[in-house]
Amino acid sequence: AQKITQTQPGMFVQEKEAVTLDCTYDTSDPSYGLFWYKQPSSGEMIFLIYQGSYDQQNATEGRYSLNFQKARKSANLVISASQLGDSAMYFCAMREGWKTSYDKVIFGPGTSLSVIP
Amino acid sequence: DTAVSQTPKYLVTQMGNDKSIKCEQNLGHDTMYWYKQDSKKFLKIMFSYNNKELIINETVPNRFSPKSPDKAHLNLHINSLELGDSAVYFCASSLKRVSNTGELFFGEGSRLTVL
């Protein structure tokens, strides 16, 4: 069963506007971490932001913020003031079993974001 | 200095051949991974190693054999290549400590094309 769901295969946003990329997850672990990665057309994987399951505050990193709703098991990425360079694939990921021997990071299917001038 | 480096970046080979991809990290991380990204961009974990010990093997065919000579290196050898092995293979590393987030640091990927 899919543990990470990203329901938007493709999104468009006007330059300078904000955009929200959706992510829902499923885990029975009480301790887990959530990540967002960006993959531009050049192919590298770029870490954007992290949210721990016990973190009280939503994570923010510059123009990126993570809207973490634990009870709903959602971890949406908000990009403010979109730029042309934000056009890329965005992956939501979850680390399960953190600090155990079986911990691993699994990825959602990704959302392709296109920023329109 | 590149934190996680993979070689080669591109491989083009015939079905049935054997090939290897090498990965090295200079971050002092204790855990390394191989991920496969298919043509639809889906990223799937294949293996993880912690301090040279195999931790996760995600039901990958026996034709794939990872090897970690030390905790800074994780290589992937693939025997009898099949068309379906064509993909981008990413190496990644992370650090297991209480105080850090444990995010993955990725290499640039190795694009394997099997003809």
In this predicted model, what pLDDT tens digit does every residue of A5-51 receive, in sequence order? 999 999 999 999 999 999 999 998 888 999 999 999 999 999 999 99
* Over residues B105-114, mean pLDDT: 97
pLDDT of residue A109: 96
Q: What is the DSSP string of A62-115?
A: TTEEEEEETTTTEEEEEE-S--GGG-EEEEEEEEESTTSTT-EEEE---EEEEE
The pLDDT value recorded for residue B1 is 67
pLDDT at A1 over 60: no
Q: Please compute the mean of the pLDDT values over residues B75-93 and round it to a whole number.
A: 97
Whether the CB-CB separation of A47 and B103 falls below 8 Å is answered with yes
A102/B42 Cβ within 8 A: no
Taking the C-alpha atoms of residue B107 and residue B75, their distance in angstroms, rounded to an integer, is: 13
Q: For residue B91, give the nearest of B39, B31, B14, B13 by alpha carbon.
A: B31
**Band of residue B40 on the pLDDT scale cut at 50, 70, 90:** very high
> In the prediction, which pLDDT does B57 show?
87
pLDDT, position A102: 75
Higher pLDDT, B50 or B5: B5
Size of interface A-B (CB pairs under 8 A): 56
- Return d(Cα A71, Cα A111) in angstroms, integer: 23
Q: What is the spatial distance between Cα A49 and Cα A33, in angstroms, rounded to a whole number? A: 11
**Mean pLDDT, residues B37-53 taken together:** 92
User: Is the CB of A102 less than 8 angstroms away from the CB of B55?
Assistant: yes
Kindly list the residues from chain B whose CB atom is less than 8 angstroms away from the CB atom of residue A105.
Answer: 33, 45, 94, 104
- Contact (Cβ atoms closer than 8 angstroms) between residue B103 and residue B62: no
pLDDT average, residue stretch B65-72: 93
Question: Does pLDDT of A100 surpass 90?
Answer: no
